[in-house]
Structure 1
Amino acid sequence: MNINGKVALITGASKGIGQAIAYELARCGIRRLILVARNYQRLNQVAADIRQMGVEAIPLLIDLTAQREVSVIMAQAWRDYGAIDLLINCAGVAHQTPFLRSRASHVQQEMDTNVMGMYAVTSLIARRMVSRRSGTIVNVSSLMGKIAAPTMATYSATKFAIVGFTHALRLELAPHNIKVMTLLPSLTDTDMAKDLQKFRGVIPVTAEQVARACLEGLSRDSPEVLVGWQSHLAVWCSRLSPRLLEQILKFTAPRHLLYAR
Structure 2
Amino acid sequence: MIRFPPLTVPSFLHPTIEAWVVWLITTFISIPAAFCTMFIDAPYALACNLFAPEPKSIVITGASSGIGASLALTYAKRGVTIGLLGLDSMYEWLVVVRIIRLLYLTYILYNAQQVAEVVRSRRASAEVLVCDVADTDKLAQILEEFDDQHNIDLLFANAGQLGHTIDTDKEWEDHWDRIVDVNFIGAVATAMTGFKLMENRRNRRGGQIAITSSLSGYFFLPQMAYYNATKAALISFGRDLRYIGRPHNIKVTVITPGVIDTRMTADPHQPFSMPRWLLTKPERLAKIIKRRLLYNPATIAYPFTEYLASWVSQSLPTALLDDATWLVGKVSSSLSRTGSRGFS
What secondary structure does 1:35 align onto? strand
Residue identity opposite 2:218 in structure 1? K
Residue identity opposite 1:185 in structure 2? P
Return the alpha-carbon distance in structure 2 between the equivalents of residues 30 and 16 of structure 1.
24
Question: Which blocks of at least 5 consecutive residues in structure 1 are unaligned?
Answer: none
Return the alpha-carbon distance in structure 2 between the equivalents of residues 34 and 252 of structure 1.
41
RMSD of equivalent CA atoms: 2.6
Match of 1:64 among 101, 114, 133: 133
Match of 1:197 among 271, 293, 301: 271
1:152 paired residue number: 224
Return the alpha-carbon distance in structure 2 between the equivalents of residues 213 and 252 of structure 1.
32
- Which runs of structure 2 are paired with 1:44-193 in the superposition (5 Å)? 44-79=113-148, 81-97=149-165, 102-132=171-201, 133=204, 134-193=206-265
User: Is residue 2:34 matched to residue 1:34?
Assistant: no
1:250 paired residue number: 329
Return the alpha-carbon distance in structure 2 between the equivalents of residues 230 and 60 of structure 1.
35
1:172: Cα distance to partner?
0.6
Deviations 1:137-189 (A, max 9, x none): 00000001111422100000110111111011001111111110000001111
Contact 2:54 2:294 in 1 (8 A): no
2:58 paired residue number: 8
Deviations 1:86-143 (A, max 9, x none): 0001101011336996432321111111111112222221111112331000000000
Return the alpha-carbon distance in structure 2 between the equivalents of residues 99 and 131 of structure 1.
49
TM-score (norm 2): 0.69
Match of 1:237 among 312, 335, 343: 312
What secondary structure does 1:257 align onto? coil
Residue identity opposite 1:8 in structure 2? I
Q: Which moved more, 1:155-164 or 1:65-74?
A: 65-74
Return the alpha-carbon distance in structure 2 between the equivalents of residues 75 and 51 of structure 1.
23
Return the alpha-carbon distance in structure 1 between the equivalents of residues 209 and 196 of structure 2.
12
Residue identity opposite 1:235 in structure 2? S
Question: Which blocks of at least 5 consecutive residues in structure 2 are unaligned?
Answer: 1-47, 90-109
Q: Which moved more, 1:69-78 or 1:107-116?
A: 69-78
1:235: Cα distance to partner?
2.8
What secondary structure does 1:13 align onto? coil
1:226: Cα distance to partner?
0.8
What secondary structure does 2:60 align onto? strand
Return the alpha-carbon distance in structure 1 between the equivalents of residues 341 and 133 of structure 2.
33
Return the alpha-carbon distance in structure 2 between the equivalents of residues 199 and 8 of structure 1.
33
User: Is residue 2:297 matched to residue 1:222?
Assistant: yes
Runs of 4+ aligned residues of structure 1 deviating over 6 Å after TM superposition are none
Return the alpha-carbon distance in structure 2 between the equivalents of residues 155 and 30 of structure 1.
37
2:70 paired residue number: 20
Residue identity opposite 2:212 in structure 1? V
Task: Please identify the structure whose Cα radius of gyration is greater.
Answer: 2
1:73: Cα distance to partner?
1.7
Contact 2:222 2:325 in 1 (8 A): no
Contact 1:94 1:192 in 2 (8 A): yes
Contact 2:259 2:280 in 1 (8 A): yes
Residue identity opposite 1:45 in structure 2? Q
Contact 2:56 2:79 in 1 (8 A): yes
Return the alpha-carbon distance in structure 1 between the equivalents of residues 171 and 297 of structure 2.
36
Return the alpha-carbon distance in structure 2 between the equivalents of residues 124 and 183 of structure 1.
19
Q: Which moved more, 1:39-48 or 1:51-60?
A: 39-48
Identity of aligned residues (%): 28
Return the alpha-carbon distance in structure 2 between the equivalents of residues 252 and 3 of structure 1.
47
Contact 1:200 1:252 in 2 (8 A): no
TM-score (norm 1): 0.89
Contact 2:223 2:340 in 1 (8 A): no
